Amino acid sequence: MLEELNIINLLVQIPLVAAFMWYSLHISKNFQAFIERRDAAWQATVKDLGNQVKRNTAAILIASKKDSGEFSRQVLAEITGDR
């Protein structure tokens, strides 16, 4: 009698544990996808800010020099990576 009760209790718990495991994995997968989207957006923002800083630095250096000829083109190419 006691053994039958233990088996019944076990059979009731198996679907509950399985449902909990499925839910935990589902939530974990959704969270990971969110984190990846957040990281991609952050990396794009940082890259864009870096490019803006390069452009602004080039503009300031060019504007600060009296001769805007060859020197300005060299500075702009050096800062933006165009060689």
DSSP 14: H
pLDDT, tens digit, 9 for 90 and up, residues 18-69: 999 999 999 999 999 999 999 999 999 999 999 999 888 887 777 776 555 6
CA distances from 72 to 57, 62, 63, 81, 82 (A): 12, 5, 9, 14, 13
Which tokens belong to 4?
């039958």
Q: What is the pLDDT of residue 69?
A: 65
Residue ranges with strand state E in 1-83 = none
Distance of alpha carbon 13 from alpha carbon 31, whole angstroms: 27
